[in-house]
Structure 1
Amino acid sequence: MPRLINLHPPRGSAAFLAVLPFLVLIAAYLFGSNTRLEANPDDKLLPSVATLVDTVHAYAFEEDRRSGEVLLWVDTWASLKRIVVALGISAAIGLGLGLTIGAIPYIRALAAPFVAAVSMIPPLAILPVLFIVLGLGEVAKIALIVIGVTPVIARDVALRAGELPTEQLIKAQTLGASSWLLSTRIILPQLWPRLIDAVRLQLGCAWLFLIAAEAIASTEGLGYRIFLVRRYLAMDVILPYVFWITLLAFLMDWMLRIARRRLFPWAESQR
């Protein structure tokens, strides 16, 4: 009898299993919404599908009466700018720190404990400090994401640098490679795929920090809109916005995965 661990679903079954949890979630929502609305037509917790569609149309295709802007796209653009800039900065700093910590023992002894300690600081706990020091503008929001994400990326990249076979470094040194060449020609190329994986794993945290910062001090953004309408119990706005944030995060993850596969096909064969 084959062991369960060795059984792999066919392609068609795998696709069905991937979709099944979403179908169950949708069915559960429809059942809960219909049940609550039958008991109380004014219930706001689980709005009907028609209400959700009307709200999405109003926010995505109609201009707001007060501002004259299409709110969903204004909020999306504001949030995407912040998170893309923050992730770019985090990736650059994380790669540099991870490379030097993983490759140079003196830097590892000096910086590794500090980076580990910083990575344990709850970023949301220092959000008030950032607003006091950096103000309520874009810098504080981006800084929150960078502080929350960069140390984890740096530690992950450094671990990968430490996992490289020692034989590679020894052979390169016997051929006369300097520390600079070892870092840039031997170690760095093998860190790029790991960097992409580290950024992918931190996408959820980055969005969390962004939503928190926008909820406290912002005039536009997906997090700002969610916390603005919560006082009215506007679940017909909150739920589509949550779904939209999830879809954006999924698309970002998918694009990074495709980039890793296209740019570093040799790394796929090692999995």
Structure 2
Amino acid sequence: MKRLINLKPGKSGALFLGLLPFLLILMIYMAGSQARLAENEKDKLLPSFSQMGDAVHRMAAEPSKRTGKIIFWQDTVSSLKRLGLGVLIAATIGLLLGMFTGAIPLVGASVSPLLTVISLVPPLALLPILFIVFGLGEISKVALIAIGITPFIARDMLQRTGEIPFEQLVKAQTLGANSTQILSRVILPQLLPRLTESVRLALGAAWLFLISSEAIASTDGLGYRIFLVRRYLSMDVILPYVAWITLLAFLLDYALRVMNKKLFPWYLPGGAA
């Protein structure tokens, strides 16, 4: 008799089980939407798929009468630019901080405690300060993303640096490598694939900081649009925007995972190589 813990689905079974929760959610939503609309055809809480389709077409295919631009794609481009720049800055600073702090004891003794304290500061609490210092423009939004996820990436890189076998560093020094060569040729190549994994884990928080900053002070962006139309209870716009953000997040995560496999085929998640 096979135990439940030992049963594994095949490819088709895994695909079905993976899609099943989504199908159930869609069925529950459709049933709830039909029930509410049957009771009140002007109900806005659970719009039908046709209503959401009309809203998406209006936002994604018809130019705005005020600006002449297509709002949906303008919001998407603006948000992705902010997200990409913030994550790039955070990844660069986090990599350098983590590598130098983990590889050079003198730097670690000085920077590590400060990094720990900074990582405990709620980034959203800094948002008013960023708006005061940098204004309401793009810099404050990008800064919030960078400040929000840099400590996480830096601490992860610090830990990963410490996991590199000490024997490798000894061998490099035996062969005459100096500190710069050890950092650039031994440590850095092993941290790069781990950096990609760290960025993947930090993307969820990066999206949170992006949406929060856009909701408070912005004139475009996915977060700005969601909080703009909420005052009109426009769920036919909010729900597609939330679904679109989720899809973008999934695609970015998938792209990073594929990139890691292509650039670093020797790397296995979990640190094995």
Q: TM-score, normalised by structure 2?
A: 0.96
Aligned to 1:54: 54
Aligned counterparts of 1:57 and 1:146: Cα–Cα separation in 2: 34
User: Residue 156 in 1 paired to residue 175 in 2?
Assistant: no
Instruction: Give the stretch that moved more between structures: 37-46 or 141-150.
Output: 37-46
Residue deviations 1:38-85, cap 9 Å, x none?
Answer: 222221110011101100111010111222111000100110111001
Aligned to 1:81: 81
User: Residue 93 in 1 paired to residue 93 in 2?
Assistant: yes
Aligned to 1:106: 106
Aligned counterparts of 2:42 and 2:75: Cα–Cα separation in 1: 28
Change (3 A) 1:163 1:237: same
SS in 2 for 1:46: coil
Aligned to 1:200: 200
Residue segments in structure 1 that go unaligned for 5+ positions in a row: none
Shift of 1:221: 0.6
Shift of 1:229: 0.5
Change (3 A) 1:167 1:77: same
SS in 2 for 1:181: helix
User: Residue 130 in 1 paired to residue 130 in 2?
Assistant: yes
Aligned counterparts of 2:97 and 2:116: Cα–Cα separation in 1: 12
Aligned to 1:121: 121
Shift of 1:7: 3.9
User: Residue 179 in 1 paired to residue 179 in 2?
Assistant: yes
Change (3 A) 1:20 1:99: same
Aligned counterparts of 1:113 and 1:37: Cα–Cα separation in 2: 57
Aligned counterparts of 2:80 and 2:246: Cα–Cα separation in 1: 13
Instruction: Give the stretch that moved more between structures: 178-187 or 214-223.
Output: 178-187
User: Residue 24 in 1 paired to residue 24 in 2?
Assistant: yes
Alignment-mate amino acid for residue 12 of structure 2: G
Q: Percent identity?
A: 58
Aligned to 1:63: 63
Aligned to 1:215: 215
Alpha-carbon RMSD across the aligned residues, in angstroms, is 1.4
SS in 1 for 2:267: helix
SS in 2 for 1:266: coil
Residue deviations 1:99-120, cap 9 Å, x none?
Answer: 1011111111111111111111
Alignment-mate amino acid for residue 94 of structure 2: G
Aligned residues: 271
Change (3 A) 1:134 1:37: same
Shift of 1:8: 3.0
Change (3 A) 1:3 1:100: farther
SS in 1 for 2:68: coil
SS in 1 for 2:151: helix
Aligned to 1:39: 39
Alignment-mate amino acid for residue 220 of structure 2: E
SS in 2 for 1:265: coil
Aligned to 1:14: 14
Aligned to 1:140: 140
Alignment-mate amino acid for residue 105 of structure 1: P
Q: TM-score, normalised by structure 1?
A: 0.96
Aligned to 1:260: 260
